[in-house]
Amino acid sequence: MILIGKVILTICTIILSRKLWRLGGDGQSLFRNPGVPILLGLTQFLLFDFNWLALLYIPLMWGAIQAFSYGLDTPIHDFWERVFHCGSQGDAPFVEICTRATCGLLWSTPAILFALLEGNWITYGIYAIVLTVGNGLAGGLIKDVEKSEKVVGGLVSLCILI
């Protein structure tokens, strides 16, 4: 695939991923999961010149999103509530930031596949840090849910840059 095609595909994927992530937060959960993992897996399949192994990202990310959530009734949120002794109603910024950052770190692990395929470990490390910190700050500091979810969807989609 020529360079300009890869650039256009990458930009369109990031924009669409933001939209799908947000739609998943509106009660249309299939857009977020499995929609976003399918979009990102297929995009990497194309960007890696039809490397079938890139499609393994789809079940890996699907599982990560299913297993690790940042809702108020989740084990990760409960853990941070116990650490800070507050936040059961979603009213403690530190609990929300830490919960979302933990999810960001865990959601970055399926992208290790792309680092294995391409050897871009430094880029993966940057992605993991950006997703962890960005997810934590977006969830903890942006009060507008729509904006927050679009930011998170965009951050998750940055894995295609690895």
pLDDT, tens digit (0-9, with 9 covering 90-100), for 110-159: 999 999 998 889 999 999 999 999 999 998 889 898 999 999 999 999 99
Number of structural domains (the chain) is 1
What are the start-end ranges of the H helices in the chain?
3-25, 29-30, 36-47, 57-67, 75-84, 93-108, 112-118, 121-141, 145-157
The predicted structure's pLDDT at residue 70: 86
The predicted structure's pLDDT at residue 36: 96
pLDDT averaged over every residue in the chain: 93
Burial label for 109, CB within 10 Å (0-12, 13-18, 19+), is middle
User: Domain of 155?
Assistant: 3-161
- In Å, the largest CA–CA distance within the chain is 54
pLDDT, tens digit (0-9, with 9 covering 90-100), for 65-120: 999 988 888 999 999 999 998 877 878 889 999 999 999 999 999 999 999 998 88
